[in-house]
Amino acid sequence: MSVRVVARIRPLLKQELEKDTIVEAATTASEPSAAPSIVRIPNPKNEAEAFSFQFNSVYDQQATQQQVFDNEISPTVKHLFKGFDVTIFAYGVTGTGKTHTMRGGKLLADRGVIPRLLSSIYRRSRKIEKDTEGDTKVDVAMSYYEIYNDRVYDLFEAPEKRTPAGLPIRDNNGKTVVVGLTERPCTSLKDFESLYDQANVNRSTSATKLNAHSSRSHAVLCVKVTQVTGNEVRVSTASAIDLAGSEDNRRTDNGKERMVESASINKSLFVLAQCVEAISKKQSRIPYRESKMTRILSLGQNNGLTVMILNLAPVRSYHLDTLSSLNFANRTKKIEVNEVENRPFFRTAPKPESKSGIPSVPLANRQPLRPKALSHNVVPSKEQAEKDKIEKPVKAFSVYSDKPKTTAISRPGHLSGQGHPRTAEAQKRTSSEAVPTINRPSKVLKSTVAARPETMSQKSIEELIERKVAEKLAEQALSAKLPAGTEISPDVQARLIALERRVIDQESARAEGLQYLLMAKQHTVRGEEVSALKMYQLALPYFPDNQKLAQKMLKLQEKINRKEEERRPKSGGGVPLMADDGDDDDYQPDAHDQDDEDESVFDNHQRAKPPCSQRHSADSDSEDELAHSLINTGPDQTPRSKHILRIINSRDVAQIRLLKGVGAKKAEMIVNALCEMDDEIRHVGELGRLKGVGIKGVERMREGLAGVMA
């Protein structure tokens, strides 16, 4: 049976428009009244041409969680209880609804595949126990882990208790097993939900520009179902995998840490695509071991039912990513999977013992032991000796007749035929014939043992002695104490400490200079030449002999001068920015207008500091007046306000945290508020009205940018 592929198109988000929809579900021409099974998407190079992809089932934007589960996942539960393994995994780019499909929400109607699967398992287990009148007992246990940066971590373990290397992976009877994984028993659905919610807190998630709650790892939930009927035990496993979505870093604006996570996610998904392509082309080598995710998933090698849920975004902004996901799913549906039932094993009952302590099991089927001469150390009776003398001739030689003998053994004088060769019947001796039948067998046994020569040669003895000597020397070397180091004088110690501090100071100073250079580069990219020149000037003392830095500052100064010359004729006939003369009596600028005008003249290198009286009056203004002044700012905003709005509208948590007075929680709160809004923030008044920001928060952001924008 091939892998069952189910496509699901997610609904539109708040910021998405209906006219941008390009993905639609359609039915086949032969069965127009049947359920949709085709996904149509236009060709990105030619809008008049459309591509069609046929799958087992296709669900449009109006499909509910209950419909997806009842039609696709619920039929696999009966196979699970018949001993088959079931694998369910969600695939798609970031922001297409994979986690919502697998995990779902808190409401009953929004529950995903995993909670509904467990609820169905518990219902069926109770039905089996009731139908068999308690003869069959069903136990359910779960394990939950994630693959983060190609390392496996147990989600039942807190992040601070994890080992950096993660858990190792081993192969056991053709199945991939995670060593050291915690397995928790779940007796009811309530126990499962509490454990599942507790483990999801430890999963790695963060906000990106495309998804406010992006999964940064692949999550694997394993549900182990054990059915016990008498001595028969049947074990089957259901695996639900929520894969992380592939990301286009040109659109996500990820930071350094997010870029590392994104590279690991994209690499594992790329290896998965390579495995699918190798299987479809029937290649001899399939690169499962190049990624831990593909090694655990083992697509095409696991013996059981496999269901793939392909999540798609309907809008044009995901056009190329959606087309790539459809091509991957089209190759996946051709993979053949063997449906092999897990064989039950039987418990071995303890063997009953008789009153005498001897097991009552018959010994007829027991394998006979090899005959040994030394095993007969019981003196035979006279009747048995007489019987042996009559039935067979007594041997005049020992068992080891080809070996040199050290002692002579007396034999009875009536024996004859010693020089005749032994026949085939004489060569085959039973265990009772291995010892010469004489009246004193103990003496014969002692002489036989003494007659055995030394089995070790001279060379083997020498090698044994050398090996023992080498082991003894190695043991002494390991147990020997290291010689104590010579003590360092206090003067030398002080000089070493001073030298270490000097090196640390030089490194910290160089790092601070590099930070200024980085900020200058960022200002240059944004087109803020004056701020970039200021950063280069701050970095110059850390690199005094750098000619390249001096040339860059000179070119930047020339560029600023050229812009001033180009701007001067345009502003020559206009009204001056500052009302320095006292002719215009109607113009009475207050403290806030004076600050905004000083900031608008951005080309001046030195700003005149406002008098202390104005600063005190600004601090004593009420919050209502300050809010009124921020809300009434027109389209001509100050550079600081524009810079703050640019950072806020970027929805980058890392950049928002750099603003003064904004921490990690407040930055995430601002990003969540922006995701709920239909439009971007136009002015600082709207920013002040955001939950958790306030007017004072906006002023702190502006004060933090005062030194940078000066």
Q: Which of 485-489, 614-618, 620-624 has the highest mean pLDDT?
A: 485-489
pLDDT on residue 57: 93
pLDDT on residue 423: 46
H or E stretch at 206: strand 205-206
Among the residue ranges 113-127, 377-391, 412-426, 513-527, the one predicted with the least confidence is 412-426
Residue 176 annotated as binding site? no
How far is CA 637 from each of CA 109, 645, 704, rounded to the nearest angstrom?
47, 10, 17
Place of tokens 């929805």: 651
CB neighbour list of residue 235: distance below 8 Å, 6 or more residues apart: 224, 225, 226, 227, 342
Q: Which of 182-191, 382-391, 472-481, 629-638 has the highest mean pLDDT?
A: 182-191
Look at residues 516, 530, 521 and name the one whose alpha carbon lies nearest to residue 559: 530
pLDDT on residue 315: 92
- Residues 274 and 285: their CA atoms lie apart, in Å, by 11
For CA atoms 596, 600, 603, 604, the dihedral sign is: negative
Residue 348 annotated as binding site? no
State mean pLDDT over 431-441.
46
pLDDT bracket for residue 251 (50, 70, 90)? low
Contacts 24+ apart (CB under 8 A), 687-692: 687/644, 687/645, 687/648, 688/627, 688/630, 688/631, 692/666
Residue 502's CB: how many other CB atoms inside 10 A? Answer: 10
pLDDT on residue 153: 92
- Residues 6 and 88: their CA atoms lie apart, in Å, by 11
pLDDT on residue 416: 44
* Each residue's pLDDT tens digit, 19-30: 889 999 998 878
3-state secondary structure 48-107: EEEEEEECCEEECCCCCHHHHHHHHHCHHHHHHHCCCEEEEEEECECCCCHHHHHCECCC
pLDDT on residue 362: 47
Among the residue ranges 214-228, 239-253, 308-322, 382-396, the one predicted with the least confidence is 382-396
What six digits make up the tokens of 271?
A: 């290896």
pLDDT bracket for residue 356 (50, 70, 90)? very low
Among the residue ranges 181-185, 405-409, 533-537, 614-618, the one predicted with the least confidence is 614-618
**Is the pLDDT at 234 greater than 60, yes or no?**
yes
State mean pLDDT over 695-704.
81
Place of tokens 């659109």: 251
pLDDT on residue 615: 42
Contact 287, 278 (CB under 8 A): yes
Residue 93 annotated as binding site? yes
Residue type, 52: S
pLDDT on residue 528: 84
Overall pTM surpassing 0.75 (yes/no): no
pLDDT bracket for residue 90 (50, 70, 90)? very high
- Residues 633 and 642: their CA atoms lie apart, in Å, by 12
* Each residue's pLDDT tens digit, 451-465: 455 567 888 898 889
* Each residue's pLDDT tens digit, 211-224: 556 677 889 999 99
Among the residue ranges 226-240, 244-258, 582-596, the one predicted with the least confidence is 582-596
Residue 559 annotated as binding site? no
Domain locations in the chain as residue ranges:
4-345, 593-709
- Residues 302 and 296: their CA atoms lie apart, in Å, by 10
Report the phi/psi class of residue 282: left, alpha or beta, with left for phi > 0 and alpha for psi in -120 to 50. Answer: left
Higher pLDDT, 638 or 575: 638
**Is the pLDDT at 710 greater than 80, yes or no?**
no
Residue 95 annotated as binding site? yes
Let me know how long the chain is: 710
pLDDT on residue 298: 79
State percent of the chain over pLDDT 90.
19
pLDDT bracket for residue 143 (50, 70, 90)? very high
* Each residue's pLDDT tens digit, 531-544: 888 888 888 888 88
Contact 261, 269 (CB under 8 A): no
- List, in sequence order, every residue forming a beta bridge with 26; answer none if it has no partner: 38
Question: DSSP label at 633?
Answer: -
Residue 78 annotated as binding site? no
pLDDT on residue 530: 86
What six digits make up the tokens of 486?
A: 């010579």
pLDDT bracket for residue 556 (50, 70, 90)? confident
State mean pLDDT over 186-192.
90
Contact 20, 315 (CB under 8 A): yes
pLDDT on residue 481: 58
Domains 4-345 and 593-709 share a fold: no
How far is CA 142 from each of CA 77, 303, 669, rounded to the nearest angstrom?
16, 20, 34
Q: Which of 454-458, 557-561, 672-676 has the highest mean pLDDT?
A: 557-561
CB neighbour list of residue 113: distance below 8 Å, 6 or more residues apart: 65, 68, 69, 73, 88, 101, 102, 104, 240, 309
Architecture of domain 593-709: Orthogonal Bundle (1.10)
Place of tokens 């287990």: 125
Q: Which of 481-490, 500-509, 577-586 has the highest mean pLDDT?
A: 500-509
Superfamily of segment(s) 4-345: Kinesin motor domain (3.40.850.10)
pLDDT bracket for residue 391 (50, 70, 90)? low
- Per the prediction, the chain carries an average pLDDT of 75
Residue 574 annotated as binding site? no
Higher pLDDT, 671 or 359: 671
Among the residue ranges 64-68, 84-88, 106-110, 519-523, the one predicted with the least confidence is 519-523
Contact 87, 306 (CB under 8 A): yes
Cα within 13 Å of Cα(350), Cβ side: 3
pLDDT on residue 259: 79
pLDDT on residue 154: 92
DSSP codes of every residue in 374-405: GG--SPPPHHHHHHHHHHSPPPSS-S-TTSPP
